[in-house]
Structure 1
């Protein structure tokens, strides 16, 4: 008996080894992560501003560098309540459900059935299982258990599962991209709101100056020193400054509505907490932006393009697997009887077991056309990945240039405002002394108002450029959206 077992063992080992080797075979190319030559360092402007970017570890919560509690609170609410983000989360859940459906094909499919029927067959048709020739009704009790499993000898099913996993990664990075866009848009709208409020404050200050000039001119007219022309010009200046305020108020209302939408609230829901004036949050003198080599790990669009390329590569394996035979093992066992007392007895047993085999012979070129389609899609995905990376480098370089240029412009405008303030005080004094006419005072005052508004706009642009730089770098989603998870963690 022992010798008999010893003689059978080699054949069993060979069969097991054969099945193992066949199951390890996977048709189609294996995915290789694309290599893109990174730049060695960030670009450096010829004329550098006072604030500089440094290649240090980037602050993932970059919105906190502004040290503005209101902005931090709005960011937290946007991450929690933004509807675009919730839609992206739903798409991620769908991709995970699709992955579960596809990967289930790797495992055996089992089911249990049971039925009871009161039947009567035709006496003129095929045979009557009751033996009554269709003259009387009979009972039929039936129950069983069945199982089937496709032997994935060529790896077609495994390639489908691989593509499904890559598509989940695509959906994950889609959500990360939406989150990054929401973070940036929230910060940008908030900064613009504070910029509009600062512009309005400057306009109201200049309006008060214009009104004082009007009152002063009216007094000089009463004393016989000024003319009606001076009074009319002063009144026109007051009206011109007043005309700026409605547009600023409208812009403020629009930005508050935009922020309300970002946090999933109805129009003007944030009016009470955002209508009070506050200065434009300013960036620190040094901004850490990380290393160029970290870009591919941070930007969701690059990660998404890589996942699409992975899915397209796995799709080639699926298409090639369709050329090979499909072998499915199936079996069933059960019991069937016309009397309940016989149901489950040894004589009522029924079973069936065996493989099923299918091989495509002629399909009019459908399979070959599908393979060519998958290969072309893979080439497109590879080109799209290269394009995404190249666009990322250009976007970052443009944002670095914009951040530096906006700072230089702000510093020049700050000096212009100081000089215009000095010029206005001088012109007012000379007008009192009768050295210059009132037109000169109005001209200098208009120049001061223009440069003050430009300075506010430029200061806002510096902060907006920093937000744009962080968005281009792809930072921010890591701290509120884990790399491996789909749920949003607490961003506070």
Structure 2
């Protein structure tokens, strides 16, 4: 402990030395190079050089989903869904952890007050010495000459950005899930109406068959077959009612509240007005920049790459400073009342160079390198999975429209066949078995038509989701926490 005539000068000198050492630190983080995408440069069946004028990720969900009722349901889900809320809170948690890690790059200055009393040994006499200290203190601040602290801070920042991308992925999945459930609900409404119409038709047919049976015109076999056909429609009706209730429950969970009663008017059937806009496919390279899950995987790769720098720096000396500046007195009360209090300062530097650690640092570097290699594989796997999702959706778009047109023509043909078979039966030209077969074929074709229409619409939603659509920069700014400043 030494007296100091100019304590402020000492504090400024200590701060200057620390800042100079901090800025002089080097980085041992390996130079990052983005791995080559392990996928083709074109989608299957796409012409070479073809590109979209607008990326699907730039199409806001309000522009893609054109049904006002669906738009309100999605808005409610973005406001109330608990999965999305957890994702936003995860960002806050990782953001705070990043700030803690970043704070290690700057000195931690505190206000300290202490008093010590000591009685010397036999050679020191019988007196008791007392020292009271008070002032500012700097505790074990590491001079980051080799970039260890900076590397840890960059890794923490990358993890924070990865969490922000994860929230975007949750939002995209949520928007798509609401749309898929809503489309299923519309399809079930259509199937329910179709089943009710079919049940009514078969009930009328049963009445006619019963009348003909009572008058000896139809056989008991005709009556039993007509009754079985009616009960089959009744069972299908109960199944359709149950499925629609399940879809409503799924929507309730997604929007995070009971289904509102003031929803805008909308189509009651799936085969009404167009509900979705067209989606441009773009190029596979667009996914690297626009799909949040791929960007999340790359941020995790960057974090693993930064950890290698921290592991490398562990092989070099670690230098830390501890110091204090303030006043000293023989009595604690003297610090505040004057008395014998004098200005005092102290500082100490510590350098630790690893010599023998039983291979701990080498193992730590090997772990960091293995984690980086795992992150590379995970990044490539994410790209491949995204490529397949888009390719599957494009294959569905290329075939489902044609399938839908064919099934619509088949349904019209079955309707004509049923009308003619019923007319022939009523005029005694054919037997009732022809009518039953025509009824069953028409009902099956109508159900298949609705299911194919649902698949076509849901495939369009899946393509929009696979291309990274469902979140916008404006929504991201409104819901996500601001990105902290880059490390010093």
- SS of 1:71's partner is helix
Q: CA shift at 1:143, angstroms?
A: 1.9
- Report if the CA contact (8 A) 1:31-1:314 is conserved: no
Whether 2:215 is the aligned partner of 1:202: answer no
- SS of 1:349's partner is strand
CA distance in 2: counterparts of 1:349 and 1:20, whole angstroms: 27
User: What does residue range 333-412 of structure 1 map to in structure 2 within 5 Å?
Assistant: 333-335=325-327, 336-338=329-331, 340-341=333-334, 343=336, 344-345=338-339, 347-412=341-406
Range that drifts further, 347-356 or 373-382: 347-356
CA distance in 2: counterparts of 1:79 and 1:362, whole angstroms: 55
Partner of 2:169: 177
Give the direction of change, closer, same or farther, for the CA distance of 1:227–1:54 in structure 2 (3 Å limit). farther
CA distance in 2: counterparts of 1:289 and 1:125, whole angstroms: 89
Identify which of 258, 269, 276 aligns with 1:279: 269
Identify which of 466, 471, 485 aligns with 2:465: 471
Partner of 2:291: 299
TM-score, reference length from structure 1: 0.84
CA distance in 2: counterparts of 1:455 and 1:54, whole angstroms: 33
Q: CA shift at 1:275, angstroms?
A: 13
Partner of 1:103: 102
Q: Give me the CA root mean square deviation.
A: 3.3
- Report if the CA contact (8 A) 1:334-1:350 is conserved: yes
TM-score, reference length from structure 2: 0.85
CA distance in 1: counterparts of 2:124 and 2:239, whole angstroms: 90
User: What does residue range 58-207 of structure 1 map to in structure 2 within 5 Å?
Assistant: 58=56, 60-62=59-61, 64-114=63-113, 131=127, 142-148=133-139, 149-207=141-199
Q: CA shift at 1:284, angstroms?
A: 5.5
Partner of 2:208: 216
Unaligned runs of 5+ in 1: 1-11, 47-52
CA distance in 2: counterparts of 1:392 and 1:259, whole angstroms: 26
Higher relative contact order (CA 8 A, sep 6+): 2
Range that drifts further, 164-173 or 272-281: 272-281
Partner of 1:49: none
- SS of 1:106's partner is coil
Partner of 2:7: none
| CA-to-aligned-CA distance 1:257-312 (integer Å, 9 cap, x gap) | 1111111236xx45896999811264568433344332111111110111111001
Identify which of 258, 263, 271 aligns with 2:255: 263
CA distance in 2: counterparts of 1:127 and 1:478, whole angstroms: 76
- Report if the CA contact (8 A) 2:179-2:461 is conserved: yes
State the aligned residue count.
458
Whether 2:267 is the aligned partner of 1:252: answer no
- SS of 1:395's partner is helix
Partner of 1:50: none
CA distance in 1: counterparts of 2:134 and 2:124, whole angstroms: 22
Q: CA shift at 1:419, angstroms?
A: 0.3
Q: CA shift at 1:334, angstroms?
A: 2.5
Partner of 2:32: 31
CA distance in 1: counterparts of 2:135 and 2:461, whole angstroms: 65
Q: CA shift at 1:114, angstroms?
A: 2.8
- Report if the CA contact (8 A) 2:61-2:471 is conserved: no
Identify which of 403, 428, 431 aligns with 2:422: 428
Give the direction of change, closer, same or farther, for the CA distance of 1:248–1:204 in structure 2 (3 Å limit). same
- Report if the CA contact (8 A) 1:99-1:165 is conserved: yes
Give the direction of change, closer, same or farther, for the CA distance of 1:227–1:392 in structure 2 (3 Å limit). same
Q: CA shift at 1:167, angstroms?
A: 0.4
Partner of 1:55: 52
Partner of 1:7: none
CA distance in 2: counterparts of 1:180 and 1:285, whole angstroms: 17
CA distance in 2: counterparts of 1:417 and 1:62, whole angstroms: 33
- Report if the CA contact (8 A) 2:154-2:306 is conserved: yes
CA distance in 1: counterparts of 2:276 and 2:20, whole angstroms: 64
Q: CA shift at 1:32, angstroms?
A: 2.6
- SS of 1:287's partner is coil
| CA-to-aligned-CA distance 1:213-272 (integer Å, 9 cap, x gap) | 112222333444223332222222111100101111111111111111111236xx4589
